Every structure is written in C-alpha cells, then in structure tokens.
C-alpha cells in the first residue's frame, strides 16, 4: 500500500503505481517468487506431502532468496550481482536438504564433507539474512551461542556462565543446519504452520479494504470527541495489529492514516508517533489472534492437561483491555491538557506538546459503516473465531477465512475492474478447485479444494497483473505486503533456530532456570525483574512472534518449577508481554522508528514518547502474575471466582486510571507536581499484589487506599476547575 495517500472510497487500496511500473525481469522474478512462497505455504500446510525437513527447507529457501533479492538499488550493479549470488547460494543450500533429507536421517551424525560445507555456508547465509532483516542484535546473539557451544570455549567458562562439555564444529553444523532441531526446527515450523498464514490473511484483508474500513469506523466513533484522532489510532491499531502480529508493519500501515489525523488536531509529531507506536505494539496482545501468539502458545506450553485455545483467549482478554484502556485514558487526559494549554497565551512549542496543524487532514468519513469492506472484516474475523471455537485447527481456520476475504475482493465492485473480470476470476477459482479435486482425489478432498483453487488463482492474477493494470495493482500489492511482512519472520526464525538448537545441547537451557529459581525463593518480585530484563534485552529489535519463541525457549523453563507458584499460562503471558514491549523500549524501539519516519519526528524522542504511552504494559505482567484473577484463573491455574475477578479488575482500573492521569498531568484540570505524585502513589496501590484482599475478593485494602487517593486528587482538581471558571 502506498504510504502518504488516502485510499479511495475508504478502502485500503494500493497505489496504481504498481500497475504502471515497467515490467522487468528482476521485478517479475521477485513477485513470482513471493507468489510461489504464499502458494506453497497455502498448499503444503493444507495438503501436507513432504517430510518435515524438506518441507521447512523449501519454506526457508524461499524466505532467504527473497531476503537477498532486491536489497540493493538498481544503480549499484555490483551489489545486485552479489545479492543474486547470495540468493542462488541460499537456494542451493536449502535445495540440498530437500534432495538429501531422507539420506541425512539414515546417516544420523555421520556427515560427509559436502554436508558440512553446505551446512556451514547455510548458517552464514542465515546470519546475514537476519542482519538485513532485523538488524545486528539477533545474529550477534546467535554467534555468541555458537561460540558458547564450541568445545574450545565451553570447558573454560567460569561457573556463572554454566560450563559444559561442548561440541566440535561438525556437531554444531549438524545440529544447526542438517537436522530438524536447529534452523529447520520448532521456530521455523511455527512460522510455517501458523504465523505466515496469518501474514497472508492480513494482506488479503488489507487488499479487500478492511484496513480503511476499520479506520473509518473508528473515526466515526471518536473523530468528534476529545483526542478523537488519537483514539482512532488506538482502536484501529489494536484491531489490525492483532491480525498482522507485526508492530512495525501495523505502525507503517495504520500510521499512514492516523498520524496525519493526530497532527491535524494539534498533537505534536513526537506525541503522534509515540501514540501510534504504543497502540501498534499492543496489537499482538489482543485476542483472539494475538498475531498468531495464541497458536504458538498451544505449540510451546508443556502442561498436563494440554492448554486449550479458549483458555489462552480468556487469559489474554482482560489484560489486553486494560492495556488499551490505559492508552485511551492517557490520550484523553493528554488531549484535554493541551486543549487547556492552547486556550491561553503560550509560546510555540512548549514541552514539545503543541504543534501547528497541517493544512490538510485525511478523512475517511465517506466510507459507509455498512459496506462490503465492513462485511469482509467482520465476516473474516468472526468466521475465524467461530471455526477456532468449533475445534478446527488454526491453519485450517485461517485458510478458510482467507478464502472468504478473497471471495469478497472478487465480489466487491470497489476493488476495481469490471464485473466481467471479477466473474472470470471467480469462475477460474471454482474451475481450478474442481479440477484439483478430480486430478488428485487421494490428496485433495472437497475441504482442501478451495485452497488449491485459491493457490492457482493467486498465481494467475499476479502473472496477469505484470502486464495489465488488473484491479489497480491490488494483487501485486497483496503479494508484496505478504513478502514484506513474512520474509523478515522467516530469516529471524532461521536465526532463532540456531540458538534454540544449541540451547538444547548446552547447559544454558537448565542453567538459567537453576540460577533464577533460587532467587525466586527469596523474592518472586526480584525473579520477575530479572526475567523482565532478560526478555527486554533478548527481544530487542525482534519481530513479536520470533521474540516470543526465543524467550519461551530460554526463559520459559524457569516457570516450570512449581515452587514459583505461578500458573504456567500466566507465566507465558508474562514473557510474551515483555517481548512485545521491547518494540517500544529505547534505544531499539522499532515500532517508534517506523512511526517517527512517517511523522517526521526525532527518532529518540519518539521512542521515549512511545515508552511513556505504553508504560502500563510494563506493569500489567506483574499484575496478572500476582493477581491471576485478571487472567480468569486462581493461583493454582484453575478458574477464578467471579467476585475475585471483579475485585482484581476494579483495583487494576484504579491503578491504570491513576497512572494515565499522572503521566498526562491532567485529571479534571491540569495537575501540579504534588498531585501527579499522588496519582503515581495511587497507581502503585492499584497495581500492587492482592495479598491484603478484602473479604476474599480481589480488591485489597491497598487498592482502597489508591482509590481514596485518586478520588481526592479528582475532587481537588474539580474545585480548581470551578474556581478557574
């Protein structure tokens, strides 16, 4: 989707520039590889044929090739040639695994020289692809783990670094590349079976106009209210972020609309960028999709009985509401404050709060609330939830929802093109589905036939779009969005796979829990602080899904010890939240980097603003560890009593409201510093553990003290406002 332009008719239509770009071999090759990747995942996940190692090697090969192709500008010919060589090398290294997958399993650890050469080269390619996709932090961490695992280093480590027997180079290469426990292990498998399909689903929804519809509805609800444009950003980013799972992609997509809206109402560039980054980062915390985080938890959490999807959704619901409530309140109080500040004489730019409004603002109010775009969003998301609750597997549910969204693109005349072209595409889809069922009856049933037909339809539409302006370039934009969102995830997951594979072969997998659990014996709070610090550092600069996979592997085992007394689901939500918060934690706050570029704001100031607006996200994980009733469970992990849930939510709302007022510096009137400190004290009371519960409820005497403080500040502000009037 072209940035900086409002979509026509409220849809999120791509720019027509895609249709008028000159056709060249390089561009066509990249588009067709991206299309092949989407088609391959759609088919292989729905109709698995290949063995696991070969299956993931093809997926990883597509991702690495796309990562290297098109990275250098056209005028840098030498760099483009070098990138092309890296892409070919990636295809060769991954293709070798496809050809040799069966014999590699039979040879066990007796690797040949070609095996080791290919494996070593493949690991270097993964490190470079991760560096290009997510920056230096992840490949540096992987290199440190490689050094840690090697026998020459492992035996000379001090006790506090968990010395171990170590492995030679052959064992490290075999573990990392030639077996299904490293690059092509759990991390890549989760990306393949869950996350990438949701990236494709989000791209199809965007092409169907769902993004623009969500923003237009949010603008109708909040546009005329105090801080309306910022509240539009919060609601739209939360809804779209849950589907995409990528804070950066969400910020770049919705921020194109919402940041100019906020600027037009007087928010400074720094504040607008901070609000959008905070709202976009929290999207992956919103059920039911959670950026595919819910499905990763199903795969990773080891519990008897196994955790169910409904449990994850229930546990994540109230914390997500509290997170967005805090941003809503903070935006509301902040907007009221700058209205007060602007009502009187004030120098330009005081505190960076007030900024001149742009000459033009984006408006989507002409979009009907009851429209095909709205039906697409509600029907696709509602259908996805219904299928999941009915017991369908996540990949089957999202595949069906994607088919529905694609059908709505063909049905909706506002997607562009004539009725004849859309009818022809629908007929071609139906024909391909029926043909695939008849030709491959042993592999494709009537349930899989629509997915097979959709795969063929995508290939056809993208190929035709290279030469004809089909639907204003919508299909090409769909494939580009999928590639842009999915390729970094593949590269990062491959790099995380190296780390995960080595964790299982060294002492660190048990060493870290062994070091933190005794700390928890003295103070659970200190243990949680240590886990938070590890999560923020390890998650720095990583996509949300990859961050959780890494953290769950290294830190997750800490919570397996029953001595901690933390329900395993609440524990995984704890590390999941801090993995998300790394996206708005300076200095590597990638979501704020994206919004700062759109707003034209200073990157570091925007990062600090995003950190400030998402501050409640750093306290919520402690709340649902100490007050598991917020996750609808008791301290043993069973269902919580309704009264306990009500009390815990009441205390949390007091804390969230007080924190928002203290940060914004406004309640019923502008707050003095003593009043702000009182609000922070009330917030601390509301966010404290529920050890002093009143009559067995989740509402404690400490919460009551916080409520009294907050009410007192509110009454004093009200008197100040009356006197000023």
Query: Quick one: angle between helices 25-46 and 394-411, nearest 10?
Result: 130
608-620 b/e (C-beta count within 10 Å ≥ 16 → b) = bbbbbbbbbbbbb
Angle value at C-alpha 484, between 480 and 488, nearest 5 degrees? 150
pLDDT band at 291 (very low <50, low <70, confident <90, very high): low
- State the pLDDT at residue 3: 36
- The residue ranking higher by pLDDT, 723 or 267, is 267
Q: Please check whether residue 234 lies inside any domain of the structure.
A: no
**pLDDT recorded at residue 266:** 77
List, for residues 299-352, the tens digit of each pLDDT value.
788 777 788 888 888 888 999 899 999 888 988 888 888 775 554 444 333 334
Residue 454 CB coordination number (10 Å): 24
Q: Which residues pair with 354 in a beta bridge?
A: 267
- Please tell me the predicted confidence (pLDDT) of residue 6: 33
Residue 10 lies in a domain: no
Taking the C-alpha atoms of residue 322 and residue 649, their distance in angstroms, rounded to an integer, is 9
- Whether residue 453 lies inside any domain: the answer is yes
pLDDT in tens, 6-42: 333 333 333 333 444 445 777 888 899 999 999 999 9
Query: 370-413: per-residue pLDDT in tens?
Result: 788 889 988 988 888 888 778 788 788 889 999 999 999 999 88
Encode pLDDT of 641-666 as tens digits: 888 888 888 888 998 999 999 988 88
**pTM for this model (two decimals):** 0.78
| Peptide bond preceding 133 in cis form (omega within 30 of 0) | no
Q: What is the mean pLDDT of residues 625-635?
A: 86
Q: In Å, what is the CA distance from 718 to each residue of 47, 667, 670, 704?
A: 64, 9, 10, 21
Q: Give the pLDDT band (50/70/90) at residue 245.
A: low
List the structure tokens of 715: 């009454």
Which of 530-539, 579-588, 696-705, 708-717 has the highest average model confidence (pLDDT)? Answer: 708-717
For 78-90, how does the pLDDT look when each residue is reduced to its tens digit (9 = 90+)? 888 899 999 999 9
Tell me whether residue 24 is in a domain: yes
- Residues 6 or more apart whose Cβ sits within 8 Å of residue 645: 318, 629, 630, 632, 698
Query: What's the pLDDT score for residue 228?
Result: 77
Tell me, yes or no, whether 619 lies in a domain.
Answer: no
Average pLDDT rounded to a whole number, residues 194-219? 82
Q: How many domains are contained in the chain?
A: 2
pLDDT in the model for residue 16: 36
Q: Quote the percentage of the chain above a pLDDT of 90.
A: 18
Domain boundary among 453, 480, 506: 506
Q: What tokens were used for 128?
A: 């470079």
Q: Please name which of 285, 369, 269, 280 lies closest in space to residue 321, comparing C-alpha atoms.
A: 285
Q: Which of 579, 488, 592, 587 is nearest to 284 (CA)?
A: 579
For residues 628 and 574, give the distance between their C-alpha atoms in angstroms, rounded to a whole number.
11
> 687 is in which domain, residue-wise?
641-725
pLDDT at 117: 94
* pLDDT at site 85: 94
> Looking at the predicted structure, is the pLDDT value of residue 268 above 50?
yes
Supply 396's token pair.
Answer: 């089957």
3 state SS of 641: coil
| Inside any domain, residue 332 | no
pLDDT for residue 11: 38
Burial 301-321 (b: 16+ CB within 10 A, else e): beeeeebebebbbbbbbbbbb
**pLDDT value of residue 121:** 96
Name the more confident of 470 and 401: 401
Q: What is the pLDDT of residue 38?
A: 92
pLDDT digits (tens, 9 = 90+) for 165-180: 888 899 899 889 988 8
- 530 and 538 Cβ atoms separated by less than 8 Å: no
Domain boundary among 490, 506, 522: 506
Helix 449-465, helix 474-503: angle, nearest 10 = 120
Structure tokens at 231: 């509240």
pLDDT band with cut points at 50, 70 and 90 for residue 435:
very high
Q: What is the pLDDT of residue 111?
A: 85
Residue 586 has a pLDDT of 82
Give the end of a domain, one of 506, 540, 556.
506
**Residues 47 and 191 reside in one and the same domain:** yes
- Count how many Cα atoms sit within 13 Å of the Cα of residue 315 in the half-sphere of its side chain: 31
Is the CA virtual torsion 528, 529, 530, 536 positive or negative? Answer: positive
Q: Are 452 and 444 in contact (CB under 8 A)?
A: yes
The least confident of 54-58, 69-73, 263-267 is: 69-73
In a domain, 267, yes or no: no
Percent of the chain with pLDDT over 70: 85
Please tell me the total number of residues recorded for the chain in this structure.
Answer: 725
Cα angle 509, 512, 514 (rounded to 5 degrees) comes to: 105
Within a domain: 322: no
């Amino acid at each position: 989707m072209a940035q900086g332009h409002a979509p026509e008719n409220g849809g999120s239509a791509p720019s027509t520039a895609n249709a008028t770009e000159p056709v060249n071999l390089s561009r066509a090759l990249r588009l067709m590889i991206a299309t092949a990747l989407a088609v391959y995942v759609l088919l292989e996940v729905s109709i698995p044929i290949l063995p696991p190692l070969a299956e993931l090697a093809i997926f990883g090969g597509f991702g690495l090739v796309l990562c290297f192709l098109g990275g250098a500008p056209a005028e840098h010919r030498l760099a483009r040639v070098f990138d092309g060589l890296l892409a070919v090398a990636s295809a060769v290294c991954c293709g070798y695994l496809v050809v040799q997958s069966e014999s590699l399993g039979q040879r066990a650890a007796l690797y040949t020289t070609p095996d080791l050469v290919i494996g070593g080269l493949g690991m270097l390619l993964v490190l470079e692809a991760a560096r290009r996709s997510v920056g230096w932090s992840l490949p540096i961490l992987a290199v440190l783990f490689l050094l840690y695992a090697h026998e020459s280093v492992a035996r000379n480590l001090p006790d506090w670094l968990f010395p171990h027997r170590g492995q030679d180079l052959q064992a490290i290469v075999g573990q990392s590349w030639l077996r299904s426990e490293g690059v092509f292990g759990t991390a890549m498998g989760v990306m393949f079976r869950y996350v990438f399909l949701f990236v494709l689903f989000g791209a199809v929804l965007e092409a169907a106009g769902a993004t623009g519809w969500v923003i237009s509805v949010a603008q109708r609800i909040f546009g005329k209210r105090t801080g309306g444009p910022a509240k539009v950003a919060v609601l739209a980013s939360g809804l779209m972020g849950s589907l995409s799972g990528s804070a950066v992609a969400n910020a770049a997509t919705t921020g194109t609309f919402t940041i100019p809206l906020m600027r037009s109402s007087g928010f400074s560039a720094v504040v607008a960028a901070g609000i959008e980054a905070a709202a976009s980062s929290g999207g992956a915390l919103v059920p039911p999709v959670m950026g595919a985080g819910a499905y990763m938890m199903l795969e990773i959490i080891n519990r008897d009985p196994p955790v169910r999807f409904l449990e994850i959704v229930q546990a994540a619901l109230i914390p997500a509401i509290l997170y967005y409530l805090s941003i809503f309140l903070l935006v509301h109080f902040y907007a009221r404050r700058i209205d007060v500040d602007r009502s009187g004489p004030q120098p330009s730019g005081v505190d960076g709060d007030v900024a001149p409004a742009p000459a033009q603002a984006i408006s989507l109010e002409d979009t009907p609330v009851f429209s095909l775009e709205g039906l697409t969003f509600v029907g696709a998301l509602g259908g996805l939830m219904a299928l999941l609750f009915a017991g369908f597997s996540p990949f089957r549910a999202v595949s069906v929802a994607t088919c529905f969204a694609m059908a709505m693109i063909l049905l909706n005349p506002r997607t562009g093109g004539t009725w004849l072209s859309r009818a022809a595409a629908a007929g071609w889809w139906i024909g391909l589905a029926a043909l695939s069922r008849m030709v491959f009856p042993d592999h494709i049933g009537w349930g899989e036939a629509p997915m097979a037909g959709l795969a063929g339809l995508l290939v056809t539409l993208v190929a035709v779009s290279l030469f004809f302006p089909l639907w204003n370039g919508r299909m090409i934009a769909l494939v580009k969005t999928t590639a842009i969102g999915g390729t970094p995830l593949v590269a990062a997951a491959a790099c995380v796979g190296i780390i995960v594979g080595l964790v299982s072969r060294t002492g660190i997998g048990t060493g870290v829990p062994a070091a933190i659990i005794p700390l928890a014996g003295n103070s659970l709070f200190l243990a949680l602080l240590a886990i938070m610090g590890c999560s923020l550092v390890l998650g720095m600069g990583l996509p949300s899904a990859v961050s959780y996979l890494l953290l769950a592997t290294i830190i997750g085992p800490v919570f397996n010890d029953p001595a901690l007394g933390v329900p395993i689901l609440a524990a995984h939500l704890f590390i999941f939240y801090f993995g998300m918060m790394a996206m708005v934690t300076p200095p590597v706050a990638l979501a704020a980097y994206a919004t700062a570029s759109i707003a034209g704001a200073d990157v570091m100031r925007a990062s600090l603003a995003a950190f400030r607006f998402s501050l409640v996200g750093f306290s919520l994980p402690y709340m649902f560890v100490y007050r598991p009733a917020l996750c609808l469970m008791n301290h043993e992990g069973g269902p919580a009593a309704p009264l306990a849930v009500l009390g815990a939510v009441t205390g949390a709302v007091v804390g969230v409201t007080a924190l928002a007022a203290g940060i914004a510096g406004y309640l019923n009137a502008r707050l003095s510093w003593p009043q702000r400190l009182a609000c922070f004290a009330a917030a601390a009371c509301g966010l404290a553990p529920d050890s002093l519960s009143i009559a067995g409820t989740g509402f404690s005497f400490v919460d009551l003290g916080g409520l009294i403080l907050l009410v007192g500040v509110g009454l004093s502000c009200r008197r100040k406002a009356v006197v000023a009037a």
